[in-house]
Amino acid sequence: MTTKEAITLFGYHQRSNLKARTVQSYHPILQRFEFRFADRSFDSIGSDEIYQFLESLTQKHSKSTRRLRYAQLKAFWNFLIEKCNLNMRNPCSAPLLSKAFKTPKQVARRILDREVVEELIYKTKILRDRLIVELQARCGLRIGELLKIKVSDVLDRKLILRGPKSGKESEVAFMPEQIARRMNDYIQQKNISTEDRIFPICYSTAASGSDPAKFLFFKKICPNRRPF
């Protein structure tokens, strides 16, 4: 099987089993790989050639992008080896490659205790800032999702989250009644139009807000959408 045919087969598999966003993320590397090795038998390509290809492709990119491209190519080979029932080792697993594109050791993320979050909310006096922290802590919202919310996305106690990290078109979160009332008061107080964002600020603006210390905890309150 040529590399071009292998990429076509992998593409069919991806479109049937993966989200469109994930499929799209593979496109740049597979397109370049096909251009380089199109007529070569995919199982004739060695680890040295793969290393040279990845180096030329990612030398000006960040370390995270380099690791992503390596992982994508490795996944491509794993699929072909399993699909074609080949008795061969993934060339991307060679020490030369695994060392050059090694994933750094993950540092455990410190999650704030409930008591700390409660104190944080209690001490936040500005309504906008309090809502931002409460929506994260009580509703499990990520800051990126929170800052996208428009007035039209608020339906009583329900929040429609557009373009969430999961890759879905939308998700739904629910507010406790007290927060829903505060949200409604804030919208009326600021006279925000239906299609306007409720919090029309960017992440960096939020982080340098009236109480910078509390915004350091954005990702430590509820990183996995598990509300307090």
Contact 42, 68 (CB under 8 A): no
Question: Which domains does the chain show, CATH number per domain?
Answer: 3-100 (1.10.150), 114-221 (1.10.443.10)
Which pLDDT tens digit goes with each residue over 148-185?
999 999 999 999 998 777 777 889 999 999 999 999 99
Contact 170, 160 (CB under 8 A): yes
The residues near 51 (Cβ < 8 Å, ≥ 6 apart) are 94, 96, 97, 100
**Which helix (DSSP H) or strand (DSSP E) does residue 160 occupy?**
strand 158-162
Which pLDDT tens digit goes with each residue over 6-57?
999 999 999 988 888 889 999 999 999 999 999 999 889 999 999 999 999 9
